[in-house]
Amino acid sequence: MSKIFGYARCSTHEGKQDVERQRRELKERGATDIFMEYESGCKIDRPELNRLIAELKRNPQSTLIATEVSRITRSTKQLCEIVELAKELHLKLIIGGFVVDCTGPLDSLTQGMLMMLGVFSEMERNMIVDRIRSGIKHAKAKGVKLGRPALTIADIPKKVTEHFDLFRNKEINKIDYARLCGISRPTLNKYIAIMVDK
C-alpha cells in the first residue's frame, strides 16, 4: 500500500521561523508521515531528510509532498538526485501546486520545469546571502558591532555557579557537571572560562 509522506523545513529554530504552518498544510493535503527539521536548505546531509529518503526506499510507489521546492532543497544538484530517486522508486512528487508523477515515464517538459524551479530556488538563496553580506559590510563601515554580546558572570545560570566548587575541587568531572546542569559540554566550557577569569 502506497504511503503519503510530507517534508517540512525551516532554516532557523522555532524562535525565528516555524514549520507548523507547513505541517498543517501537508496534513491537509493527505500526508500521514511528516518529517520536520530546522536545517539550511543548502545542507545536503540533513538527519530528517535522510530518514525520509530511507523510508521512501522502503515504500516505493509512494507520494512525497512539500509546500515548495525550497523546502526540500536549495541545491539544484540535490534536486536532480531526488528526481532520479523518484523515477527509480516510481514516486509521485507534489511540490506546492506542481505535480511530478514518476509512477510512469517522466516527460521532458515536466522534468525541465521542475529543474527550473530548483534553479530559481538556488538563485533566491544566493541573492539572500548577497544581501546579508552587503548589510554586514555596510554595518561594519558605520562602526556597528556585530554578533552576540560577550557573556558575563551575570549570564551564567545559577545551577552552574552553585556546582562550580564541586568541579574546581575535582569532586565531579566535566561530563557530570554538564549533566547536572542540563547543558552541553561546549556551553559549560564557556561558563567555566568566565568563572575562572573572574
Instruction: Enumerate the active-site residues.
Output: 11
The answer to whether 180 and 163 are in contact (CB under 8 A) is: yes
CA distances from 57 to 54, 154, 156, 189 (A): 5, 51, 46, 42
Residue 100 has φ and ψ, to the nearest 5°, of -115, 105
Q: Which DSSP string do the residues of 19-53 spell out, in sequence order? A: SHHHHHHHHHTT-SEEEEEE--TT-S--HHHHHHH
Cα torsion 113, 115, 117, 120: sign: negative
d(CA 183, CA 102): 46
Cα torsion 108, 111, 114, 115: sign: negative
